[in-house]
């Protein structure tokens, strides 16, 4: 059965770096005596993905040549396609005390959990502006992904890793957090071959539902794969999103055609480049297609609404086996009396179309403008969870509404 599934990216088998059982216990014991390198939340998520095979074929954090090649050409030194650097940084004083070829313990800075060990094969200093301009197309500090890179420590450490922990994810998101071997097993058991992944960092509103059902019309199954790592202030936390998505799936989808999963990364908000990263690891999870709608993985107006679709068609032959499922601008059409897209709806008079946006919905909720939320924005069962969440907040982050959220941005 499993032979019907797409191969992992750049490999015949998943490259799983997570140790278990006696091997894990022995490495944990050895880690006690090793120099410590503290990890940010982003680095923790990346390490877990390395561990579970989500970042196949990577074997660790990138060295300088791979970092530069990925930034410039989306290609590692061995020719493997990779769209975003996967790197680890350390303070200069810490890096100076680490000899090339020696091992270090990788520690989650938030809870001191021993996440893994690493053999340090390289130490190098990067030009952060160079990375930001190529990966995010901007060096502006207001961009949350740029801020992550600029906040990195002084020296990058490269080398292979052994992963010892999946942090809070298996317990806090039990039943949702999945490893690629688990999603692949479920796909194989269902006999699915063509599987579309729906990337989510927001609750599913009506546009997401529409995209998902288009994918189901042309494929065997849908993998609703949501981010359960950290987001920017003002975004809706994972536990609330999980409740909203479960409610929508249980009420409006055929259960046997949908699988939900969660992955442990932080959002980088890298727009087109992050869409490609989403495609790479969805292939590792067993998906053949990635739904790419408006402003995929974007933030503000840093990217055009369909830049994330167009970048797929600029890749060289053989770069990526998974294919995009691009879908045009979607909206509620009052004359069609339903969801539609630019490709299906002829009604263009002002007021005919309601553009649905997670940003717009968060803005109205955060400002307690519940009565201004159109009924077509979200299913009532889902909206109920969101209203309860926002009502319980002591402080509400301002949510800025950009042109794309209203349908008035560049098209």
Quote the pTM value. Answer: 0.92
User: To which residue do tokens 């499922």 refer?
Assistant: 325
Which residues are tagged catalytic? 201-202
Q: Of 151-155, 228-232, 251-255, 268-272, which range is least confident?
A: 228-232
- Indicate the helix (H) or strand (E) that contains 66: helix 64-73
Q: For residue 205, what pLDDT is reported?
A: 86
Exposed e or buried b per residue across 190-204, where buried means at least 16 C-beta atoms within 10 angstroms of its C-beta: eebbebbbbbbbbbb
The mean of the pLDDT values for the chain is 92
Q: For residue 3, what pLDDT is reported?
A: 60
Q: For residue 209, what pLDDT is reported?
A: 94
Using pLDDT thresholds of 50, 70 and 90, give the confidence band for residue 2: very low
Whether residue 395 has pLDDT greater than 80: no
User: To which residue do tokens 């002084």 refer?
Assistant: 154
Q: How far apart are CA 57 and CA 66, in angstroms?
A: 13
Q: What is the CATH superfamily name and number for domain 2-169?
A: Sulfate adenylyltransferase (3.10.400.10)
**Long-range interactions of 327-331: CB distance < 8 A, separation 24+:** 327/211, 327/214, 327/291, 327/292, 327/293, 329/294, 329/305, 329/355, 329/407, 329/411, 330/207, 330/210, 330/211, 330/293, 330/294, 330/356, 331/207, 331/355, 331/356, 331/407
Cis peptide before 388 (omega within 30 of 0): no
Q: Could you report the per-residue pLDDT of 60-100, keeping only the tens digit for each? A: 999 999 999 999 999 999 999 999 999 999 999 999 999 99
Q: How far apart are CA 222 and CA 83, in angstroms?
A: 24
Residue 173: strand pairing partners: none
Q: CA nearest 354: which of 372, 327, 381, 380?
A: 372
Exposed e or buried b per residue across 113-141, where buried means at least 16 C-beta atoms within 10 angstroms of its C-beta: bbbbbbebebbbebeeeebbebbbbbeee
Mean pLDDT of 325-330: 92
Q: How far apart are CA 264 and CA 224, in angstroms?
A: 14
Q: Could you report the per-residue pLDDT of 278-291, keeping only the tens digit for each? A: 999 999 999 999 99
Q: How far apart are CA 338 and CA 242, in angstroms?
A: 25
Whether residue 148 has pLDDT greater than 80: yes
3-state secondary structure (DSSP) of residue 2: helix
Helices (H), 257-357: 272-284, 307-310
Q: Could you report the per-residue pLDDT of 291-311, keeping only the tens digit for each? A: 999 889 999 899 999 999 999
Contact 10, 283 (CB under 8 A): no
């Amino acid at each position: 059965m499993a032979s019907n599934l797409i191969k992992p990216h750049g490999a015949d088998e998943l490259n799983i770096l997570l140790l278990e059982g006696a091997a894990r216990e022995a490495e944990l014991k050895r880690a006690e005596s090793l120099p410590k390198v503290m990890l940010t939340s982003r680095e923790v998520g990346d390490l877990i993905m390395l561990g579970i095979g989500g970042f196949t074929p990577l074997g660790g954090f990138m060295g300088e040549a791979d970092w530069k090649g990925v930034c410039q050409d989306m290609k590692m030194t061995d020719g493997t396609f990779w769209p975003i650097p996967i790197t680890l940084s350390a303070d200069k004083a810490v890096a100076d005390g680490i000899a090339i070829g020696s091992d270090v313990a990788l520690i989650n800075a938030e809870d001191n959990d021993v996440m893994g060990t690493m053999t340090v094969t390289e130490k190098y200093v990067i030009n952060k502006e160079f990375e930001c301009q190529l990966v995010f197309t901007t060096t502006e500090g207001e961009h949350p992904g740029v801020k992550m890179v600029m906040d990195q420590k002084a020296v990058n450490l490269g080398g292979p890793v052994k992963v010892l922990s999946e942090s809070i994810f298996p317990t806090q998101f039990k039943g949702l957090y999945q490893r690629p071997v688990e999603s692949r097993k479920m796909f194989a058991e269902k006999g699915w071959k063509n599987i579309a992944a729906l990337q989510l960092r927001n609750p599913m509103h009506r546009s997401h539902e529409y995209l998902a059902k288009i994918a189901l019309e042309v494929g065997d199954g849908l993998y609703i794969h949501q981010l359960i790592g950290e987001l920017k202030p003002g975004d809706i936390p994972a536990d609330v999103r999980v409740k909203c998505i479960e409610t929508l799936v249980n009420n409006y989808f055929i259960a046997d055609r949908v699988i939900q999963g969660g992955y442990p990364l932080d959002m980088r908000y890298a727009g087109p480049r992050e869409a490609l990263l989403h495609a790479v690891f969805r292939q590792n999870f067993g998906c053949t297609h990635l739904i790419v709608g408006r402003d995929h993985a974007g933030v503000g107006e840093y990217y055009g609404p369909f830049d994330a679709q167009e970048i797929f068609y600029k890749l060289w032959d053989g770069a990526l086996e998974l294919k995009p499922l691009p879908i045009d601008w979607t909206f509620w059409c009052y004359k069609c009396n339903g969801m539609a897209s630019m490709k299906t709806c002829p009604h263009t008079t002002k007021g005919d179309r309601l553009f649905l946006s997670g940003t717009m919905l968060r803005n109205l909720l955060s400002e307690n403008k519940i009565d201004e939320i159109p009924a077509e924005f979200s299913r009532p069962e889902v909206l109920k969870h969101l209203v309860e969440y926002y009502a319980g907040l002591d402080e509400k982050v301002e949510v800025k509404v950009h042109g794309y959220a209203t349908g008035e941005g560049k098209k």
